[in-house]
Amino acid sequence: MNFTNPWIDDDGDTLREECGVFGAINATDAAAATALGLHALQHRGQEAAGITSFDGTEFYSRRGLGHVAENFSSQEAIAELPGFMAAGHVRYSTTGGSGLRNVQPLYAELASGGFALAHNGNMSNAKTLRDELVSRGAIFQSTSDTEVIIHLVATSRYPTMIDRLIDALRMVEGAYSLIVMTPEGMVACRDPLGIRPLVMGRIGDATVFASETVAFDIIGAEFVRQIDPGEVVKVDFDGNVKSLRPFGNQGSRPCIFEHVYFSRPDSIFDGRSVYEARKAIGAELARETPVEADLVVPVPDSGVPAAIGYAQASAIPFELGIIRSHYVGRTFIQPSDGARHAGVKRKHNANRGLVEGKRIVLIDDSIVRGTTSLKIVEMMRDAGATEVHFRVASPPTAHSCFYGVDTPERSKLLAARMQLEPMREFIKADSLAFISIDGLYKAVAQKKRDSGCPQFCDACFTGDYPTTLTDLETRVDREAQLSFPVGKVAASA
């Protein structure tokens, strides 16, 4: 969960959700509600934010690099976005000034009128589609894969807007949760497997959509239900809500990492409280790999719920052995006579008075590259911990995500590079354990993982990708990306 990690400069040692989306229709102040909703989704994308609104006649757009609050909290900003329908987007991964081109919602003037699109997810055949469109004379204004959808809609030969949209989506492969605005109303839809989340709510006469339920809490909206995998929901300006299922039923494979890390703990994802899921993971982890220790210490903030679960299940006291700063910002220049790891100390500091002379269990949500884990173990030892046991609230992350999560290249993932015991040595812990894949499924109320037809997308742990990966298959490094290491989930010094 990123209620943990507001830092931009984590050296890539984290997984990042690439986007959050929000939409409101038939709302008195659609843009103001959208700004608040996006603010509650800020953890899903901190690099840029955009809102597009519609007042019955015109579309209005405003986009900016940085946080929602920096771009959309002023009266002036909201006044530029009049109307009773609006959609917004937060994203990672736009760098440089020209990056503004890629900030969503994307907007185009089609022959049928304005068309605005906010997209969370990633298409696995975007490059292939783009090349075909360009060869037919399409001119792209961004490097965003999302724009492919707009060109597919623009060149579709179907007569109605909704048919053109469905025609376009049939060609698309991968993960998408979309919010579309046209002069006829709003369309919200989720890819056939429902990989990325999307929920629907209501406040007064307004219908709202968002990546997570926390976006409803902030505006006082009621959570109605999630959009189903493959569902297309259309809302018009009279408030009529119509549900279409043009892709049939292809099963459901929501991203299990939403439970582990991406979603806020106060969200409801796939029918369950994320906080409770994380506590259950911690408790399961305590049962799977217990340890004798004096303190359970979360790696703040993402490890906190799992650590509370671990502490309650193990009856070892939960304590704040690491204090994090709320003021992080950029990397500082290091003084030459400074001690090691000032970088991590800028964010985290050992609570020395507590840790000294103690055996501690550290709880973190995941290990990506492992470099931060190493620094934190060393920080605990420098502060006088006698033993440091590392417990991870997810299985080893050994595969890249192609569905909208910004993972490092596979070769940088610690669990893709080494087995369990070398990992333990690398991070210098006295013991290291990950929750098992079945333990994880148990914690989210499944009996176990159904390997023939898994209940979630867990490709980052298993390499079992639920869709074809068309663009990737043309690349020589495919094997390296997809090979599957078999490994243990616990090791001790």
Tokens of 371: 């470099």
User: C-beta of 59: minimal distance to a copy of itself in Å?
Assistant: 12
Q: Does 338 bind a copy of itself (CB under 8 A)?
A: yes
Q: Which residues, numbered 452-471, are part of the site for a copy of itself (CB under 8 A)?
A: none
Q: Which of 82, 114, 127, 138 binds a copy of itself (CB under 8 A)?
A: 138
Decide: 372 and 19 in contact? Cβ < 8 Å: no
**Stretches 189-197, 254-262, 265-273, 472-480: which one binds a copy of itself (CB under 8 A)?**
265-273
Q: Does 320 bind a copy of itself (CB under 8 A)?
A: yes
Q: Does 61 bind a copy of itself (CB under 8 A)?
A: yes
Strands 222-226 and 199-203: antiparallel
Number of neighbours of residue 283 by Cβ within 10 angstroms: 19
Give buried/exposed letters for 424-434 (b at 16+ CB in 10 A, else e).
bebbbbbbbbb
Q: In angstroms, what is the C-alpha Rg of the chain?
A: 23
Q: Where is the binding site for [4Fe-4S] cluster, in residues?
A: 255, 401, 457, 460
Q: Where is the binding site, in residues?
A: 255, 302, 364-365, 401, 457, 460
- Out of 1, 19, 286, 311, the active site residue is 19
Let me know if 224 is exposed, middle or buried by CB neighbors in 10 A (0-12, 13-18, 19+).
Answer: middle
CA distance linking residue 249 with residue 231, whole number of Å: 9
Let me know if 335 is exposed, middle or buried by CB neighbors in 10 A (0-12, 13-18, 19+).
Answer: exposed
Q: Which of 140, 202, 247, 386 binds a copy of itself (CB under 8 A)?
A: 140
Q: Which of 240, 249, 331, 451 binds a copy of itself (CB under 8 A)?
A: 331
**Stretches 305-313, 444-452, 461-469, 470-478: which one binds a copy of itself (CB under 8 A)?**
305-313
Q: Which residues, numbered 31-60, are part of the site for a copy of itself (CB under 8 A)?
A: 32-33, 35-36, 39-40, 42-43, 46
* Region for residue 329 given its phi and psi (left: phi exceeds 0; alpha: psi -120 to 50; beta: otherwise): left
Decide: 468 and 478 in contact? Cβ < 8 Å: no
Strands 206-210 and 113-123: unpaired
The reply to whether 453 belongs to the active site is no
Q: Which of 273, 419, 446, 470 binds a copy of itself (CB under 8 A)?
A: 273
**Stretches 11-19, 335-343, 399-407, 426-434: which one binds a copy of itself (CB under 8 A)?**
335-343
Cβ closest to a copy of itself, residue 315 vs residue 486? 315
**Stretches 102-110, 175-183, 243-251, 402-410: which one binds a copy of itself (CB under 8 A)?**
102-110
Q: Does 340 bind a copy of itself (CB under 8 A)?
A: yes
Q: Within the chain, what is the greatest distance between any pair of CA atoms?
A: 73
For a copy of itself, what does the binding mask look like between residues 285 and 304, x meaning CB under 8 A?
----------------x--x
Q: Which residues, numbered 107-126, are part of the site for a copy of itself (CB under 8 A)?
A: 108-111
Q: Does 268 bind a copy of itself (CB under 8 A)?
A: yes
Cβ closest to a copy of itself, residue 151 vs residue 196? 151
Cβ closest to a copy of itself, residue 69 vs residue 480? 69
Q: Which of 65, 241, 328, 418 binds a copy of itself (CB under 8 A)?
A: 328
For a copy of itself, what does the binding mask look like between residues 6 and 25, x meaning CB under 8 A?
x-------------------
Asked if the peptide bond before residue 183 counts as cis, ω within 30 degrees of 0, the response is no
Let me know if 52 is exposed, middle or buried by CB neighbors in 10 A (0-12, 13-18, 19+).
Answer: buried
Tokens of 193: 């497997």
CA distance linking residue 50 with residue 179, whole number of Å: 13
Catalytic residue numbers, as ranges: 19
